């Protein structure tokens, strides 16, 4: 019985698109380094009138702890008008708000990733929130593409 359940779960994860790779994160490769990608993202967010709640330089934190971490930044941002609508569907989504974009370097390449709207909908059971979820997915995709130089 347990084996069948594990096979069913494995089959579901294998069927997911590679961009969401089971954890719900959509990832794009950037044409720029981490700092340039982050600055381009911050510019796109500002242009769209989004609130930026934080910019966490994880690599700096690692250095302060006497450890090494390739360049890695987390940008937290959002729009209370959309976030509130999602929380009205199910307040548990507040754990994933504000939205976040992780920008990191790995093996000489730079990536930007964010939680996809499908992941948020499934994780929090956001039935009836299709319209704001579509808006979020489109906005996140546009912001990431601009930041990565794929616009």
Domain boundaries, the chain: 23-148
DSSP 64: H
Task: For 76-128, write each residue's pLDDT tens digit.
Answer: 999 999 999 999 999 999 999 999 999 999 999 999 999 999 999 999 999 88
What is the chain's mean pLDDT, rounded?
A: 87
Check pLDDT > 90 for residue 21.
no
CATH of 23-148 among 3.30.310.70, 3.40.30.10, 3.40.50.720, 3.40.50.10800: 3.30.310.70
| 101 closest CA partner among 50, 137, 55 | 55
This prediction has a pTM of: 0.83
Q: Name the strand (E) or helix (H) holding 93.
A: none
Give dist(CA 65, CA 87) in Å, integer.
36
Cα–Cα distance list, 44 to 17, 63, 69 (Å): 26, 29, 26
Check pLDDT > 70 for residue 51.
yes
| 116 closest CA partner among 136, 130, 131 | 136
Check pLDDT > 70 for residue 11.
no
Give the range among 2-6, 11-15, 98-102 with minimum mean pLDDT: 11-15
Contact (Cβ atoms closer than 8 angstroms) between residue 102 and residue 114? yes
pLDDT value for 8: 33
pLDDT value for 130: 93
Q: Which residue has the tokens 């769209």?
A: 48
State yes or no: cis peptide before 98, omega within 30 of 0.
yes
Rg of the chain in Å (alpha carbons): 17
DSSP 29: E
């Amino acid at each position: 019985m347990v084996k069948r359940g594990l096979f069913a779960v494995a089959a579901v994860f294998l069927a997911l698109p590679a961009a969401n790779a089971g954890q719900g994160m959509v990832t794009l490769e950037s044409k720029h380094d981490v700092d340039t990608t982050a600055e381009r993202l911050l510019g796109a967010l500002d242009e769209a009138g989004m609130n930026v709640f934080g910019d966490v330089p994880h690599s700096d934190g690692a250095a302060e702890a006497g450890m090494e971490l390739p360049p890695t930044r987390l940008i937290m941002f959002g729009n209370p008008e959309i976030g509130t609508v999602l929380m009205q569907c199910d307040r548990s989504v507040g754990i994933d708000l504000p939205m976040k974009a992780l920008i990191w370097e790995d093996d000489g390449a730079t990536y930007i990733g964010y939680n996809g709207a499908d992941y948020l909908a499934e994780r929090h059971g956001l039935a009836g929130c299709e319209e704001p979820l579509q808006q979020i997915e489109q906005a996140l995709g546009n912001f990431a593409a601009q930041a990565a130089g794929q616009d």
